[in-house]
Structure 1
Amino acid sequence: MFASMASFYVTGRLWEDAQTRVYLINELDRRTGQAHTSISVDDTLKVVACRHQHKRLAALQMELAHANHQGYVGKYSSHTNGTRNGKRLLAVIGIMTGFGRKNYRDAVRKSWLPSGGTLKKLEQEKGILARFVIGRSANKGDNYDRAIDDENRKTNDFLILENHVEGSEERPMKTKRFFGHASDTFDAEFYARINDDIYINVDALGGMLSAHWDKPRVHIGCMKSGEVFSAS
């Protein structure tokens, strides 16, 4: 799904200059069809580059058609969503946490994650939305769930995965569900996950991500080789 979203953005940018490329290609065909008309090397290189862009555009359109066939439907445009007053977020950060780790969450809040109105200011001014990510207890509605709900009412900084049951063996699936939920809910350039014992410099992170925002399908971090999730 992420590849499809990135492809849609790139395709949109390529389409803006489609008419110019068509004109240049037609101009080359017209000139080369005249026996006594010469064409400069610079013009030739421009047209070759345009034809290469046409091939890229065609490939991206095929990828989009495949994504649509698979059932992908974008909920947002590349410019608007329900956050940042209609502007796309720079990053959505999921802070993976669990039951019994309130001390870790409080340490994060005291170090780099603001609270209250300052948390909203981080989203509006820097385009970074950060939330603690947690699922539900196997015994839904028990003391663990109630403690998280009480904490969230005070801090309003949780993203609760209602369809996920917390457990150490379920961490890969939790990450997968977070990315799916985040991409469906928030329109952002980047989606990231960290653990609740990691401390980040928000300004440095924003600057680093901004340097990559125009590159499609960027992955920053470690990538496991081979199969990550099984069908079971």
Structure 2
Amino acid sequence: MKSRGSNHKLSSMANRSRIPSLFISMFATFATIYVAGRLWQDAENRVYLIKQLDRITGQGQSAISVDDTLKIIACREQHKKLDALEMELAAAKQEGFVSKGLIETNGTYSKRRPLVVIGILTKFGRQKNRNAIRKAWMGSGAALKKVEDEKGIIVRFVIGRSPNRGDSQDKDIDRESRLTNDFLILDDHVEGNQGHPEKAKLFFAHAAEEWNAEFYAKVNDDVYVNIDALGATLATHLDKPRLYMGCMKSGEVFSEKNHKWYEPEWWKFGDKKSYFRHASGETYVISRALAKFISINRSILRTYAYDDVSAGSWFIGLDVKHVDEPKFCCSSWSTGAICAGV
């Protein structure tokens, strides 16, 4: 009986000892597989590094450093990603899924950014002004499209909606827009109530979202623009990422309610007699970064009585390059003038 009990105990102990041994064996197996996998994964990089070492030392140079090794590995990873992207692009081209903003050149694709988007702020009942602008400098139909394609200059009339949404005024604008295809209609702006300051702000915001241009220009619908002079001038300022350019002025602040240029918040401006420096409202230009700033912050940017003063206020406190360009003084008729008031 004693012998039989002893055998039972020995058998139990043997079973318990086999369980840890089994776990140890499994762990060792998995560890071996993991290490072998890592070695297999790194083998290609090691072979490549050995070849690079042989090439460098064969040229009489010292062995590559750790930094050089890391750079080589990173470069190989980038090549792999580039190869994958090229394969995806080739597949997309076969399926017809190529962005409309891409232009094919010698078998490759590149995106051409427009130079400037010009927004002509207009109103209801001013179709004669718009037609005159189309004939004088803006163009229409194929001529307008040619200016966009060849010069990178996009021109649109900017208008909001009627207070009585869907009335004859809205219908007239929609009809004209279908015929000319040269409007940017601000559905979130009501004509007459908020005036030019709010419309100018919404133009810059919507234009920045619609077109990724270098510059954005605001123009009144009683101003004629020299497209070539504007394009040539802007081309010389492509190195300025935060540009605010126009016919700069300060101007007097009028606190009398019966005055034509009355400013309701006259008391906010310095000595209460002069505005801060800002561009004349007939036409002025801002760069892409500033247009995107307006787009992002449109809900909190304050507007004053006039759009030019409002625009100038948005850039106070920002690192902005103010450029006083006499060619933007539309009443000067100077040589090489960009605009002329009528």
TM bin (shorter chain): 0.5 to 0.7
Question: Is it true that 1:109 corresponds to 2:134 in the alignment?
Answer: yes
Q: Which runs of 4+ in 1 moved over 6 A?
A: none
Matched, 1:145 2:219: no
Contact 1:131 1:158 in 2 (8 A): yes
Alignment-mate amino acid for residue 183 of structure 2 = F
CA shift for structure 1 position 225: 2.8
Sequence identity (%): 53
- 1:185 matched to 2:217? The reply is no
Other-structure match for 2:276: 225
Matched, 1:120 2:171: no
- Alignment of 1:155 with 2:180, yes or no, is yes
In the alignment, structure 1 residue 175 sits paired with structure 2 residue 200: yes
Deviation at 1:198, TM superposition (A): 0.4
What is aligned with 2:124? 99
Deviations, residues 76-104 of structure 1 (Å, cap 9, x unaligned): xxxxx855843100000000000000010
| DSSP 3-state at the match of 1:192 | strand
SS of residue matched to 1:112: helix
1:175 partner letter: A
2:146 and 2:102 map into 1 onto residues whose CA distance is 9
Equivalent residue number for residue 254 of structure 2: none
Root-mean-square deviation (CA, aligned residues, Å) is 2.1
CA shift for structure 1 position 168: 6.0
Letter in 1 for 2:170: D
The DSSP-based 3-state class of the residue aligned with 2:244 is coil
Distance in 2 separating the partners of 1:84 and 1:115: 24
Letter of the aligned partner of 1:133 in structure 2?
A: V
Residue of structure 1 equivalent to 2:87: none
Equivalent residue of 2:138, what SS? Answer: coil
Label 1:151 to 1:84 Cα distance change in 2 as closer, same or farther (>3 A): farther
Change (3 A) 1:209 1:87: same
Paired amino acid for 2:221: D
TM-score of the pair, normalised by structure 2: 0.42
Residue 161 of structure 2: which of 133, 136, 142 is its match? 136
Give the secondary-structure state (helix, strand or coil) at the position aligned to 2:159. Answer: strand
Q: What CA deviation, in whole Å up to 9, does each residue of 1:154-196 have, x standing for no partner?
A: 1110000011000164210110001000001101010010001
1:141 maps to amino acid: G
Take 1:84 and 1:121, find their aligned partners in 2: how far apart are those partners? 17
Q: Could you tell me how far apart the structure 2 residues matched to 1:178 and 1:192 are? A: 10
Structure 2: stretches of 5+ with no match in the other structure: 1-98, 104-110, 250-274, 278-300, 305-342
Shift in CA distance, 105/168, structure 1 to aligned 2, threshold 3 Å: farther
Per residue, is there more strand in 1 or in 2? 2
Report the secondary structure of 1:139's partner residue. coil
Q: 1:131 to 1:220 in 2, by over 3 A?
A: same
The one-character-per-residue Cα deviations of 1:51-70 (angstroms, maximum 9, x if unpaired) are xxxxxxxxxxxxxxxxxxxx
Q: Distance in 2 between matches of 1:83 and 1:130?
A: 18
Higher RCO (CA < 8 A, seq sep 6+): 1
Q: Secondary structure at the match of 2:217?
A: strand
Aligned residues: 150
Contact 1:84 1:124 in 2 (8 A): no
Q: 1:152 and 1:84, CA in 2 relative to 1: closer, same or farther beyond 3 A? A: farther
Alignment gaps of 5+ in structure 1 = 1-80
AA paired with 1:229? T
Matching residue of 1:31: none
